Every structure is written in structure tokens, then in C-alpha cells.
Amino acid sequence: MIMVDVAEIESRKQALQKVLDLMRPAIKDDGGDLDLVEADYELGFVKVRLSGACGSCALSGATLQAGVERILKGRLNWVQEVVGDVDDTMDFEESSSLGTGSYVPKH
């Protein structure tokens, strides 16, 4: 088992939040949001969720993999795995009306 001291865990928490806050405005510009669902700061596991307009966006998977995962792994050397989820509980019409810059497929 990997042992990371309390100070390092706190440093990792702060660094993760800082990077998420850095990405959040670009996602919000498209009517979505990025939430931290859980993180294991010792094993390097991070789970995030896209919400808002991202629930109806055809590019949400690409945003998670090519954007969020790439940025987290690139800026935080302790991150080993990023798992993404999309909150699709919002009604499609409401969700798609939030988007301002991303492609939203038509029925």
C-alpha cells in the first residue's frame, strides 16, 4: 500500500481543486459544470462529473478524455487514473438550452 503523509494529501487536495477551478470557466462558458465526485489522493484516482449542458452534448466524452483527463494527468504527476461521468438527469431540452458554444445534436 502506498503511504502518503497528511501534509502531502492536503497539498494534493489543494492542487486538484486549483486545476479543476482552472478548467471550470471554459466548461461553464458552454453551459456546463465540472464537479469532483471523489478522489483517492494516495492511489491517484480522480472521479469527475460533467453537468448542465454537458448532459446533452455529443462531445462530453471527448471533453472528459481529451480535456479533463489530459490536463489533470499533465499538471498533477500523482494522478494515475481519471474516471468521468456525465450527469444526464436534466431534461434534454433544458440541458441543450444551456449550451452556448458546443455542438448539440438534433433529434
Domain ranges of the chain: 6-98
Note the pLDDT of residue 9.
96
75-94 pLDDT, tens per residue? Answer: 999 999 999 888 766 555 55
All residue ranges of the chain with pLDDT < 50 are 95, 101-107
The domain over range 6-98 is classified in CATH as 3.30.300.130: yes
SS (H, E, C) the chain: CCCCCHHHHHHHHHHHHHHHHHHHHHHHHCCEEEEEEEEECCCCEEEEEEEEHHHHCCCHHHHHHHHHHHHHHHHCCCCCEEEEEECCCCCHHHHHHHCCCCCCCCC
Question: pLDDT value at position 23?
Answer: 92
What confidence score (pLDDT) does residue 106 get? 41
What's residue 3's pLDDT?
A: 79
Are 23 and 67 in contact, with CB atoms under 8 Å apart? yes
